[in-house]
Structure 1
């Protein structure tokens, strides 16, 4: 299908169609979905203990995008295992001061991570960066809906996906 638009100098030969009043508002209302409420880890009275299922060492609540107003579902309850491993540098230091995400400990310092295996299909909604230029084996993880990140990382072609415990929201 093709629509020919008249040039600005040409006189209209047929009545111009106009966008109906209220169309934009109707489209926004129909495409908006209820946004789930999420909490960041520091807001829980017992911190990590409140979001961890002790029997299985997995995430008790669903993991959500931490951006206010997004709340996209990233991972269902029980789909990730808590692991402690060394922190890594996910973004340059000059960006960390401007990032809305919780800072990570310096590289080499122990940190808590949600480990997701065996494939990216375990996620409900996650985005992957291109391989990093300074580390071509690494990709960063971000919210697939609003692109907030990095929330975690993975190795290209790997079967382990790491989400920083303090960089995701938790369904309340």
Structure 2
């Protein structure tokens, strides 16, 4: 059963990724369908990153320190924040800024570490592709 799921994920990704590893389709917000990235502007990257569960920006800062979320591995990577068509950033959470939709403020859809000024990740599972 797992191999069927993996092969379906691989075929799904082949429809999203060009031969040079870039996104074929536009990357848009799941909620409001605002465009986040244009085709050909990001590279597929495999990296384990923890993202809190998706919610409005105001709900991302938990005072008790516990955060529910997912560890995701497939991301669109860009090295310049000006590559994005429409993305917002949360306040710092430690050394991390989470990326959110700038229009509806739902997120996080991605991750940016303040230690690396040229690394921005958008989780494939947190966006749609059209």
TM-score (norm 2): 0.75
SS in 2 for 1:145: coil
> Matches of 1:81 and 1:45 in 2, distance apart?
16
The verdict on how the C-alpha distance between 1:86 and 1:45 changes in structure 2, with shifts beyond 3 A counting, is closer
> Matches of 1:73 and 1:89 in 2, distance apart?
20
- Structure 1: 5+ residue runs without aligned partners? 1-43, 97-103
Name whichever structure is richer in strand by fraction: 2
Structure 1 vs Structure 2 CA RMSD: 2.2
- Structure 2: 5+ residue runs without aligned partners? 1-8, 54-66
Q: Which has the larger radius of gyration?
A: 1
Matched, 1:127 2:88: yes
SS in 2 for 1:58: coil
Following TM superposition, the consecutive aligned residue runs of length 4 or more in structure 1 with deviations greater than 3 angstroms are none
Number of residue pairs the alignment of both structures matches: 109
Q: Is the 8 A contact 1:90 1:152 kept in 2?
A: no
What is the match of residue 105 of structure 2? 147
Residue 86 of structure 1 and its aligned partner are, at CA, apart by 1.6
